[in-house]
Structures are given as C-alpha cells and as structure tokens.
Amino acid sequence: MPVKFLTADKLQIFIDRLLASSTVFSPSKQPGNVIRYTQASKPEDICIDYVNSDISPKELFFPQTEELFSFDQTDEGIDLRAQTGYKPKVIFGMRACDVKALLTLDPVFNSQWPDPHYAKNRNETIIICLACDKALPTCFCNTFGIDPVAPEGADLVLISYGSGYIIEECSYTGRELRELYQDLLTQEYVHLEKIKEEKRKQLNEQFVHHVSPSKAKETMNNNFELPYWDEISRKCLGCGICTYVCPTCHCFDIFDYAPEETTGSRCRCWDSCMYGDFTKMAGGHNPRPTKKERVRNRFMHKIKYHLDRYGIEGCVGCGRCIVKCPVNMDITGIITDLGEVK
C-alpha cells in the first residue's frame, strides 16, 4: 500500500518550513555532549541522530521555574496580573517514552481542575515524534507497553526507512501540518505494518531489562513494611537527581519573589520528594522523616500510587534515573527484587 515518504533532503526542506512558520524546540547537542531540548533557529540546531535526550522535554510544559502571576501594591490595594507569555510551539524529535510521559502528566495537571499554565503549554503544542531505531542498555519502555515505533499521543510520527522517513499523521493537528510537506512527498509502496514489526523486533533484541511491574505492585499491595526498603535506602544519597531527570515527576514548591517592597511575583519551581524537608509541615511534623520512607514513597508512586489513582503507571522506562544516579540505583532491579518477594 502507498505511504507518505520524505527523502532525507526533503526532510530538511520540511524543517526549514517549520522553522519559518513556528517556534520549534528540538533535541540539540550541548557542551559536554549533553542532549537537551532547546529552541531551534536553523536546521543544523536539530539533532536527529540520537537515542534519547539527557534531559526530558517535560520542562517545555512544566518549567523548572515559572512565574504564575505578578502583583503590585497600589493605593487602591493589590493589583494582580496573570502570566500570559505562552506561545504555540512545535516539538520536533520527541521519543515515544517522552510522549507517553505527557499522557502520564495530563491527568495530574489537565483533567478535572486544569492547571492553566500546564494546560496552555500542552494544548498549544504540536508534537512530532521520531520513532526509535536504537535502544540504550538502560531503556525499558516496553515494560510499560509503550510502542517505540508507533507511540500513542504524538501528532506526527517519522519512521526512518531506506533513504528517508515515512510520515504517519496521528491527529487532526498533525494533518494540519500537511501543507508544509505535501508537495515534498513521494509515494512508496511498502507494507508499513511489516516495517514497524521488523523495527519492534530489532528493538526488543536490544532491550536488556524485562521486568514485571505487576508482580512488584502485588508485593507493594501486601507488604508495606518490607525490610527491603531499609536495605536499598541505605545506598541512596537523597540527592534528588532521579526526580529532576524523570519525565513524569511533578513535585513542586511555591515561592514569592519580591525584588522591591511593593512589587513581586508568585513562582513555581520543581521540588523533590527525596528531600528531607519536602513533607515537613509548618508545625514541625514530618510524615516521611527518614530516607527509607522517602525511597519507598518514590518507587511506590511509580509502580502503584499513580496507577491506582489515574490508571497509568508513573514510570515510562526512559532509564534516565539509572543513567544519572551517582550510586547506581537501578529501578529495574528494584522492580525485579520486589516481584520476587514471597
């Protein structure tokens, strides 16, 4: 059957048109060979040949620090001004795990009582996904049923094939971009599902971790006070890097910034449940005073709490926490250990 196909040189033209018509964010190579999402101004800024970014694109929807509103004290009282600096954007080159991470964050920020800041960023963003060709040794998205070749939640998916890319339009928003590439397409008569299946097979051969979250969840349901939590928490430094690189962690703090006596802004910034003061209350009580309780809470949130509340796991198997942990704590090993508890 015919598929929409872009040769590699035509893809560059498509990117040029995207840059001319939209604000585009994409993976880019930063000093130290760090891959991070930044605003692209020219095609050369966009890194296509990468497996996954070091920093997730979560910060484009839920910034590390953002102003919620500003305020001024006047003779008449307090004048409040909502933050309105949101711009429609296109994210080019997201991977399947990060697209799924947005579906994990949506019920937190964009459901019954939508957070207007997240909702504005989310609803005015077009997502163009690059289907995966390779997996890192730390990737385990397959554990959570994520299809790295045909991800749920993208607007357009580009699948590498031969000398170019097959384009799949996955939403009405994705189809709206058609005018930017319609004249660049050639028709290839290929069996698309067979191509996808071959890519899935190649990726499955590269996945090192094959774990069962459902078995771990069963243990969590029945054994809250496991001695195992004492054992693994001794290794943890409590640095919080796992929560900062995680594409689904969403703990935050609120603070006021007032450079002058009569003006200021209320801001939100990322926080971490791994910090000792995170749950400390005004009266001094802390329901999670020890590292053991904080470590247990993090992993139970990933495998049990988020699933129980929203119907979707709180982990997408991107493996960033494994890569960045300074003491080599490995969530896949923890899931395996918990699944083997009798």
Residue type, 22: S
**Residue 139: which residues within 8 A CB-CB, separation 6 or more?**
51, 52, 97, 206, 207, 209, 317, 318, 319
CB 286 within 8 A of CB 279: yes
Q: How are strands ordered across the β-sheet holding 186-189?
A: 34-40, 24-30, 89-94, 125-130, 156-161, 164-169, 2-7, 186-189
**What six digits make up the tokens of 178?**
């058609």
- Residue 340 burial class via C-beta count within 10 angstroms: exposed 0-12, middle 13-18, buried 19 and up: exposed
Q: Which helix (H) or strand (E) holds 27?
A: strand 24-30
User: How much is the pLDDT for 228?
Assistant: 95
Lowest mean pLDDT among 17-26, 75-84, 229-238: 75-84
Mean pLDDT of the chain: 93
User: How much is the pLDDT for 84?
Assistant: 75
User: How much is the pLDDT for 2?
Assistant: 64
**What six digits make up the tokens of 265?**
């802004």
Measured CA to CA, the distance from residue 122 to residue 189 in angstroms comes to 35
pLDDT tens, 196-238? 999 999 999 999 988 999 999 999 999 999 999 999 999 999 9
pLDDT tens, 175-203? 888 889 989 988 777 788 999 999 999 99
CB 38 within 8 A of CB 192: no
Measured CA to CA, the distance from residue 159 to residue 192 in angstroms comes to 10
CB 66 within 8 A of CB 268: yes
Confidence at 342, pLDDT banded by 50, 70, 90: low
User: How much is the pLDDT for 77?
Assistant: 82
**What six digits make up the tokens of 187?**
């028709």
pLDDT tens, 316-340? 999 999 999 999 999 999 999 999 9
pLDDT tens, 165-176? 999 999 999 888
Confidence at 1, pLDDT banded by 50, 70, 90: low
Measured CA to CA, the distance from residue 137 to residue 144 in angstroms comes to 16
Measured CA to CA, the distance from residue 314 to residue 307 in angstroms comes to 7
152-185 burial, b at 16+ Cβ within 10 Å, e below that, comes to: ebbbbbbbbbeebbbbbbbeeebeebeebbeebb
How many beta carbons lie within 10 A of that of residue 311, not counting itself? 8
pLDDT tens, 103-155? 999 999 998 889 999 999 999 999 999 999 999 999 999 999 999 999 999 99
What mean pLDDT comes out for the span 289-310? Answer: 97
Q: Is 3 helix (H, G, I), strand (E, B) or coil?
A: strand
**What six digits make up the tokens of 17?**
């048109």
> Between 86 and 119, where is the model more confident?
119
User: How much is the pLDDT for 125?
Assistant: 96
pLDDT of residue 3 exceeding 80, the answer is no
Strands (E) across 134-211 are located at 156-161, 164-169, 186-189
